Amino acid sequence: MTSVFAHLKPAALTKPRVTAVAIGALVALGGSMLVASAAEPAATTVIHACVDRTFGDVRVIDPSKGGNCRFYENPTSWNQQGPQGPIGATGAAGATGPAGATGPQGVAGPQGCARRAGRPWSAGSEG
């Protein structure tokens, strides 16, 4: 008795066919990753996940969309940005840098007060 499929010949795995299949798989994978990243909420600041008790595998969930941990997982969550840490100790003073170049000549200042003729200038009061 012969098989119903006896007349069919197996498809040859030629290099162009393998390349086309590989490119198709990569495009499909890239498209699914794009859809998955677009579905993630961007404004969420808390990340919820489940940790497998046996193997330690982590699975990220979205409770707002009905995501729950399975009976063999422990729930956990964390922020995208942690709390600010304490202020660190002041560092040591740096080495003195080299002297800078001499600057340009400044603008002349206003004329000072004139002295009275014959008397030396005195900053204090006369008495």
Per-residue model confidence as pLDDT tens digits over 56-77: 999 999 999 999 999 999 999 9
Query: Beta strands of 53-100 (E only): which ranges?
Result: 58-61, 73-79
Q: Which two tokens stand for residue 53?
A: 């008790």
Tell me the domain boundaries of the chain. 14-41, 44-79
Tokens of 23: 């490119």
**pTM recorded for the entire structure:** 0.33
pLDDT tens-place string over residues 31-52? 555 445 545 544 558 899 999 9
The one-letter code for the residue type at 87 is I
Count other C-beta atoms under 10 Å from residue 47's C-beta: 14
Strands, E assignment, 1-127:
46-52, 58-61, 73-79
d(CA 29, CA 25): 6
